């Protein structure tokens, strides 16, 4: 059989997908690293592209344009948005893994927001969070909680909270769904045995649920972290980085630099993101290849 | 007994409350899409004074919705179809013939799960192939970006497909292509459908790729044309809401039809543990 392997499983099956992946996905990233050391800009058609060394990176880390803050925002968003989604989603999954009425309907419903385009969600919440006639402030007034009214998207103190809330509204159901699948694979006899031993909810959670959910937690973290680092749409549509530059992240700066024709700077910004994701990605892939054996 | 009933009621209450939080925005959008301009601007949850179904007809024309729909369908269907088939072929060989090179290639492709696309230099690459500002350029970008995820998902599934079938088919004189398309693809159907649905919805929702890659509005998919429409008609919320409903409808339909595949696919990696 070994002799035939090359014939039944021809290597050329891999060539086309590999070429597309390398040319249109990987190559731009590698080129980006190269261009990040140049003064490439919209004027380069006339003046040519020159090697400028680390100038772009020095600009990013020392200029007064808050690029560093954008990078920090990206990291902050990644950490906070994951915590905000994972913990409630876990409890929701545990709740919907029990036999409660209409649980199929709830599962379908809670997952629904995560299939919608971010742009749409951004637009919907732009209207809901509108100070004067948005649904949220109207609801607060209706409940006689008018004192809680906020300028949700323009007040520096609340704007990030609004973004996180919208992000959670969309994402909790997705995380929950992955947890439910993990939960359904845990044999119920474990819990029965633990109940006989007199374990309470928290003990069962710590000793059975969490260790058995390792795979689902891992998947959620990988998806969540890569999503967080690349976040763009929701911030672009909700606040466009504002008020001022208060909610600017790495990708919004990168787009801004691109649209103002500073291509070299934009690719440098992207390279920073590439390095951050590469460090995390290599770690995860290493862990997976260890499992693969 | 009493305690159990109280806890059941509490759990239902939590679920109902969360359901309201999920549904309220949808309801608000739907109900206001039938109102007149000034009534919709108040964004209340009350029923319209007069049901203006004509909003939809008007917005389809004003926002050039057919064009957006056509582009979205073209991008999503073609890129996903090609991407899933190519990924399945690669995953098949990578998983069946685990020589050193193929193990390396598998993890090489997996790296793409994490990396961001560098659009600025991508445009440069597309220019080189004379594909910038073309629909083919956008499609091939989407295809390239989905390959890591699809290879990863399908690769995990293939290991559960027995190899005896391969051998039998080859003994019967089948070539690799007919082995793959006639024997393997039917067995991979569930995971390929999952990849197709998930990636279809990803492409449909994508905003960043067309934002960078299409400078002409006639190439905009629905997400872009909604956003552009919003920019031009900031006060006509009735039209914007109608546009939102029409943009969401296709993905919601795909979701409801393919729901069991989505859940199965999302979790194929998670349950393996």
Q: Using a CB cutoff of 8 Å and minimum separation of 24, what contacts does B29-37 make?
A: B29/A124, B29/B241, B29/B244, B29/B245, B30/B241, B30/B245, B32/B237, B32/B238, B32/B241, B33/B238, B33/B241, B33/B242, B33/B244, B33/B245, B34/B238, B35/B238, B36/B238, B37/B235, B37/B236, B37/B237, B37/B238
Q: What is the C-alpha to C-alpha distance for residues B243 and B222, in angstroms, rounded to an integer?
A: 9
Residues of chain A with pLDDT > 70, as a percent, come to: 97
- Please name the member of A9, A35, A100 whose beta carbon is closest to the beta carbon of B93: A9
pLDDT at B142: 95
The answer to the question of residue A16 being in a domain is no
The answer to the question of residue A26 being in a domain is no
Q: Any idea what DSSP says for residue B217?
A: G
| Least Cα separation, residue A58 to chain B (angstroms) | 20
The answer to the question of residue A5 being in a domain is no
Residue-wise pLDDT tens digits, B32-70 = 889 888 887 777 777 888 888 888 888 888 888 889 999
**Domains and their CATH numbers in chain B:** 62-272 (1.10.3720.10)
- Please name the member of A8, A23, A236 whose beta carbon is closest to the beta carbon of B179: A8
Flag if A13 and B252 touch (Cβ within 8 Å): no
pLDDT over 60 (residue A241): yes
| Least Cα separation, residue A24 to chain B (angstroms) | 6
- Length, in residues, of chain A: 293
Query: What CATH number is associated with residue A125?
Result: 1.10.3720.10
The answer to the question of residue A135 being in a domain is yes
- Please name the member of B122, B126, B270 whose beta carbon is closest to the beta carbon of A182: B270
Q: How many CB atoms lie within 10 A of CB A142?
A: 10
Question: Are residues B158 and B92 in contact, defined by beta-carbon separation less than 8 angstroms?
Answer: yes
Q: What is the C-alpha to C-alpha distance for residues B43 and B45, in angstroms, rounded to an integer?
A: 7
Question: Are residues A291 and B107 in contact, defined by beta-carbon separation less than 8 angstroms?
Answer: no
A15 → chain B, closest CA residue: B90
Better-predicted residue by pLDDT, B27 or B46: B27
Contacts of A53 (CB under 8 A, 6+ apart): A37
A264 → chain B, closest CA residue: B120
Full residue range of the structural domain in which residue A283 is found:
53-292
Residue-wise pLDDT tens digits, A28-45 = 999 999 999 998 888 887
Flag if A13 and B179 touch (Cβ within 8 Å): no
ipTM field: 0.87
The answer to the question of residue A69 being in a domain is yes
Q: Does B179 touch chain A (CB under 8 A)?
A: yes
User: Looking at residues B70-84, what average pLDDT do you find?
Assistant: 95
The answer to the question of residue A46 being in a domain is no
Residue-wise pLDDT tens digits, B158-203 = 887 888 888 888 888 878 888 889 888 988 888 888 889 889 988 9
Q: What is the C-alpha to C-alpha distance for residues A89 and A83, in angstroms, rounded to an integer?
A: 10
Domains held by chain A: number? 1
Flag if B21 and A26 touch (Cβ within 8 Å): no
Flag if A277 and B25 touch (Cβ within 8 Å): no
pLDDT at B267: 57
Contacts of B53 (CB under 8 A, 6+ apart): B34
Q: What is the C-alpha to C-alpha distance for residues A90 and B7, in angstroms, rounded to an integer?
A: 18
The answer to the question of residue A14 being in a domain is no
Find out whether the peptide bond into B235 is cis, omega within 30 degrees of 0. Answer: no
The answer to the question of residue A94 being in a domain is yes
pLDDT at B19: 94
Per-chain mean pLDDT for chain B: 87
CA nearest to A253, candidates A227, A276, A228, A272? A272
């Amino acid at each position: 059989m070994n002799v035939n392997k090359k014939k039944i499983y021809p290597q050329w099956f891999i060539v086309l997908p590999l070429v597309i992946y390398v040319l249109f996905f990987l190559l731009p990233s590698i080129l980006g690293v190269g261009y990040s050391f140049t003064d490439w800009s919209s004027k380069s058609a006339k003046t040519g592209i020159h090697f400028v060394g680390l100038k772009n990176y020095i600009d990013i880390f020392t200029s007064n344009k808050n690029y560093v803050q954008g990078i920090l925002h990206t990291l902050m968003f990644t950490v906070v948005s994951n915590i905000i989604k994972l913990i409630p989603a876990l409890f929701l999954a545990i709740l919907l893994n029990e036999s409660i009425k209409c649980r199929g309907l709830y599962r379908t419903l809670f997952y629904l927001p995560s299939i919608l385009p971010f742009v749409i969600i951004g637009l919907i919440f732009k209207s809901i969070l509108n100070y004067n006639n948005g649904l949220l402030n109207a609801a607060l007034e209706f409940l006689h909680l008018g004192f809680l009214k906020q300028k949700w998207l323009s007040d520096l103190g609340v704007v990030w909270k609004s973004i996180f809330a919208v992000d959670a509204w969309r994402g909790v159901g997705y995380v929950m769904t992955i947890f439910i699948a993990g939960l359904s694979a845990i044999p119920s006899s474990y819990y029965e045995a633990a109940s006989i031993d007199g374990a309470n909810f928290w003990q069962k959670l710590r000793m059975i649920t969490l260790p058995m959910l390792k795979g689902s937690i891992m998947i959620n973290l990988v998806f969540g972290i890569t999503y967080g680092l690349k976040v763009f749409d929701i911030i672009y549509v909700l606040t466009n980085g504002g008020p001022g530059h208060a909610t600017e992240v790495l990708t919004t700066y990168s787009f801004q630099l691109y649209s103002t024709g500073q291509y070299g700077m934009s690719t440098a910004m992207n390279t920073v993101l590439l390095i951050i994701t590469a460090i995390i990605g290599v770690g995860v892939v290493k862990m997976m290849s260890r499992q693969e054996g | 007994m009493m305690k159990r009933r109280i806890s059941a009621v509490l759990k239902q209450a939590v679920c109902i409350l969360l359901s309201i939080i999920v549904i309220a925005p949808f309801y608000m959008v739907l109900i206001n899409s039938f109102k007149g301009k000034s009534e919709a601007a108040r964004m209340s949850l009350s029923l319209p004074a007069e049901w203006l179904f004509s909003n939809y007809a008007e917005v389809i024309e004003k926002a050039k919705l057919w064009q957006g729909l056509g582009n979205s369908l073209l991008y999503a269907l073609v890129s996903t179809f090609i991407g899933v088939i190519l990924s399945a072929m690669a995953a098949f060989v990578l998983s069946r013939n685990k020589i050193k090179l193929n193990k390396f290639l598998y993890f090489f492709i997996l790296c793409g799960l994490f990396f961001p696309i560098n659009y600025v230099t991508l445009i440069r690459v597309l220019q080189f192939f004379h594909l910038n500002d073309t629909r083919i350029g956008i499609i091939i970008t989407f295809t390239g970006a989905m390959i890591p995820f699809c290879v990863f998902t399908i690769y995990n599934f293939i290991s559960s497909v027995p190899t005896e079938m391969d051998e039998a088919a080859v003994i019967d004189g089948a070539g690799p292509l007919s082995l793959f398309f006639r024997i393997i693809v039917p067995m991979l159907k569930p995971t390929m459908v999952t990849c197709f649905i998930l990636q279809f919805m990803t492409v449909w929702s994508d905003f960043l790729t067309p934002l960078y890659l299409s400078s002409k509005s006639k190439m905009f998919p629905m997400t872009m044309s909604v956003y552009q429409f919003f920019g031009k008609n900031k006060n006509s919320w009735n039209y914007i809401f109608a546009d939102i409903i029409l943009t969401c409808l296709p993905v919601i339909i795909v979701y409801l039809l393919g729901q069991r595949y989505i859940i199965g696919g999302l979790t194929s990696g998670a349950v393996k543990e």
